[in-house]
Structure 1
Amino acid sequence: MMSNSYSRDELEAAFTTWRTTVSRAASGEGHWRDFVDLFTEDAQYLEQMVGVLKGREAIWAWAEPTLAGFPGSAMSFPPYWHVVDEENGVIVAKLNNLMRDPGDGSQMGSDNISILTYAGEGRFSSEEDVYDPSAFGELIGSWGKRAMELGTLNAAEQEWFENTMPHAVPRIGSV
C-alpha cells in the first residue's frame, strides 16, 4: 500500500481547486491550460477513448482540442459526490458530463468516475476517467439530434455533426 503525509484538509483543498478549475474552464470563464497545470510534469492521464497520456504536455495536446472544441465545449462537469482516501492520497469523484440545454430546458448527461492521485503542492500525478464510451456516444448523438430539431446549434456545430455523426442528423421527410 502507498502511504503519504497529506492531510484530509490538503486533499480536500486540492479537489476543490480541481473542481473549480474544471468548472471555470468548461464555462469559458477560465482556460483548459489552468486544468492541465494542476498536474505534475510527469503525470499520467487515462482517458478511455484515447488511452494513457504521459506527461503534462500530452495531457494538454488532448485537452485543448477535445475540451475546448465542440462537443466538449458544450459540456459542464458537475460533481455528484467525492470521497477522499487519506492513506493513499487518492480522491474519487462521480461527475455528470452534462450537455448544455438543447433548447427545451432538458438536461442530458452521462456519468463518469474520476480517480485523482495527489502528488502534493496542489498537483496531481494521475487522473483516470472511467465511463461507458458507448453511453457517451449515445448522449452526444441524442443531444445533437434534439438540438438540431430545436434549431439551437450554430453552423460549426451542425457541420461537426454532419461530418462526425451523420446518423444523428435528422433528414428531411424523416419521422
Structure 2
Amino acid sequence: MTSPTFSRDELVAAFENFEATVDRAAQTRDWDPWVEQYTPDVTYVEHAAGTMRGREEVRPWIWQTMETFPGSYMTSFPSLWSVFDESTGRVICELDNPMRDPGDGTIITATNISIITYAGDGLWRRQEDIYNPLRFVKATLKWCRKAQELGTLPDEAVAWMNQFGGQK
C-alpha cells in the first residue's frame, strides 16, 4: 500500500490546524476535539504507554494522561520546529511540554519528537511520540521541588512524588 502524496501547502495547513486544536484542548482541558482530529482507525504509538489502535483507545488514554498530574499541569504543547515530508504525508516535529508556573515565574519543561502521518481531509492516521520518559520524570521532580520550596506544591504532586521516589 502506498501513501497518497500531499502538497506542502496542504500539510502545512493541516499541521497548523493540528497545533490550533491541541492548543485549544490544552486551554479548555477538553481532549475530545484533539482525539477527533485522528481517523477512526488511527494508530498511536506512545513508547511509555504502548500502541493504541483507534480513537476509542486513544481517548481514555489522553484524558487520563492530561487530567492527572503531571499532565494536568502542562499548559501547552507548541512545536519548536517541524519538517514536512510531502512524499510520505508526515510531519516530524519537536513539541514542548511546559508546566504551569510554580509561583515564581520559573518555566520547567521537557520535549518530545512526534511523527504524525496525514490521511487527508484534515485527519491524521498515525502518530508516534518519541522521548526519554526519565527526562519527563526529572522535569516533573524539578517542578515539584521548586513548588515545595515556594509552598505551592499541590497534594496530587505530593502523591506523585511519593509514588515515584521524589521525596527528599
TM-score w.r.t. length of structure 1: 0.87
Provide the residue aligned with 1:163 in structure 2: 159
The question of whether the paired residues in 2 share the 8 Å contact of 1:161 and 1:168 is answered with no
C-alpha deviation, 1:77, in angstroms: 1.2
Provide the residue aligned with 1:21 in structure 2: 21
C-alpha deviation, 1:94, in angstroms: 0.7
Matched to 1:113, the amino acid is: I
TM-score w.r.t. length of structure 2: 0.91
Equivalent runs, 1:24-173 vs 2, <5 Å:
24-28=24-28, 31-75=30-74, 76-153=76-153, 158-166=154-162, 167-169=165-167
Spell out structure 1 runs of 4+ moving beyond 4 A. none
C-alpha deviation, 1:2, in angstroms: 4.0
The question of whether the paired residues in 2 share the 8 Å contact of 1:161 and 1:169 is answered with no
The question of whether the paired residues in 2 share the 8 Å contact of 1:112 and 1:129 is answered with yes
Identity of paired residues, percent? 43
Question: C-alpha separation between the residues in 1 aligned to 2:67 and 2:25?
Answer: 8
Q: Which 5+ residue runs of structure 1 have no aligned equivalent?
A: 171-175
Question: C-alpha separation between the residues in 2 aligned to 1:169 and 1:3?
Answer: 49
Question: C-alpha separation between the residues in 2 aligned to 1:65 and 1:163?
Answer: 16
